[in-house]
Structure 1
Amino acid sequence: MTTWNRRTVLTGACGAALLLAAGLPVRAADDKGDPYAFVVDLTNAVLEEIRKDPKLHAAEPARVRALVDTYLLPAADFTMMTRMTVGPKWRQASPEQKARLEKGFQELLIRVYSGALTNVTDERCELRPTRRRPPADEMVIRTLLKSSGKNDVGIDYRIYRNKAGAWKVVDVNVEGIWMVENYRSQFASVLSQDGIDGLIAMLETRTDELAAKNGSAAGTK
């Protein structure tokens, strides 16, 4: 049985997990209903959407951008995600800096994880065989990503219920690595040395580098 490289797992599963929040218009994915069904049904709907759309499966930038703009941003709480990732220094940022941090983090995640779409094959999401707890306003939903010929991958989703009663995804854990914590540790050194403006510059520079790299790769196909 093929063993998934840890970095590949983290990149691929987090990519799928971020797109989980896309809110694709499927009957079973009720963002105000059962949180377990919301996570599992929506993840599987997204995986199926990727499989049937060649442009999305090929991670064409325009198609990925359209998917994100239409579905991901309204459903995922990127403000909270960014605040959690930046940490205490978020409170010191001006409104303009907060907006640039959030936009920069969004763009970085899109560039980093969109390439994972090309790896989607027959993956399917299932709940882990653990006792289901009654819904609470903040929850961690534990799932397994299953695929033939590959080891199961454990993915946990941190969600919360907002004031409107809708579930929002704010973090993802792949095989013991929480995405927010992982980025927070990377950003901490930049913040300590270069401050908030330094982190903004790093996010924008890194995103531009990935865009150029992805564009070059696309041109060689």
Structure 2
Amino acid sequence: MKQLWQKWYLGLLMVFALNFAMANDLNHPAQVQMQQNSKDIMAVINNTGLSNPQKIQRLNAYGDRYLDYQRIAALAVGVQWKNFTPQQKQDFIAAFKDMIISMYSNTALMAAQNAKINVLAKNNSANSASKATVYTQIVSNKNKSYAVDYQMYKSGSVWKIYNINVEGASLVTVYRNQFNEIIQKQGIDGLITALRNKAIKKVN
């Protein structure tokens, strides 16, 4: 799938950026949180007084609250995560996040300005008071639609995202083979250095 990670990043922005077309019977707390987030962040995206870097900075502040970067990173690395030291985990998370933002944020932000999203009336039997999957359909500013599903869990009063599936492809697994290949050849510190140097192959 072309520009797959850009779609994932766009999916992240959608969590905070869009007016949701939500049916009355879609009332799970995770869906309600998405709807509540949309109003304030739409003001950021449509604020002509802000530059794109300023908009991205504010959107990322929301992401820091609503995305579980540690869990996303652990799932992206896979079984090797247990071999990371606490400091390596911290360094990897920071470098991974910075790489994705620098690669995809500007193009995804432009796509988010005119995109639309629908929360689908689709139930997951595994949804509970602490875990949920929210199913959506995103229509890009080029009028192309694709399915995006958000896997979430409750942490205190906040629902946090730990995985996104775009057309069935998982955010947390797309880089796993590449990460593990680098670890085998260069070690964990070599992987962190590659992330910091933006030397990871871009997923398209």
Distance 1:67 1:42 in 2: 15
Counting aligned pairs with the same residue, the percent is: 23
Structure 2 residue runs of 5 or longer lacking an equivalent are: 23-27
Q: Counterpart of 1:126 in structure 2: which amino acid? A: N
Give 1:140-219 correspondences, 5 Å limit: 140-147=133-140, 150-162=143-155, 164-206=156-198
Please tell me whether residue 85 in structure 1 is matched to residue 85 in structure 2: no
Give 1:27-38 correspondences, 5 Å limit: 34-38=29-33
CA 22–123 in structure 1, closer or farther in 2 if over 3 Å, else same:
closer
Please tell me whether residue 111 in structure 1 is matched to residue 111 in structure 2: no
Q: Counterpart of 2:42 in structure 1: which amino acid? A: E
Deviates more, 1:92-101 or 1:14-23: 14-23
Contact 1:19 1:46 in 2 (8 A): no
Distance 1:177 1:158 in 2: 13
**RMSD between superposed Cα atoms in Å:** 3.2
Distance 2:185 2:147 in 1: 35
Distance 1:134 1:173 in 2: 16
What's the TM-score once normalised by structure 2's chain length?
A: 0.78
Question: Secondary structure at 1:159's aligned position in 2?
Answer: strand
Distance 1:23 1:125 in 2: 10
**2:11 maps to which residue?**
17
Q: CA deviation at 1:185?
A: 2.5
Q: Provide Cα deviations, 1:20-74, integer angstroms capped at 9, x if missing partner.
A: 55599xxx9xxxx6122333x2575477346412466x6x334412431x32112
Structure 1 residue runs of 5 or longer lacking an equivalent are: 1-5, 211-221
> How many residues are matched?
191
Contact 2:16 2:38 in 1 (8 A): no
Distance 2:126 2:186 in 1: 44
CA 134–201 in structure 1, closer or farther in 2 if over 3 Å, else same:
closer
What's the TM-score once normalised by structure 1's chain length?
A: 0.72
Contact 2:132 2:152 in 1 (8 A): yes
Q: Provide Cα deviations, 1:68-125, integer angstroms capped at 9, x if missing partner.
A: 1x32112211111111111122111111111100101110121122121112343221
Distance 1:108 1:20 in 2: 19
Distance 1:147 1:96 in 2: 39
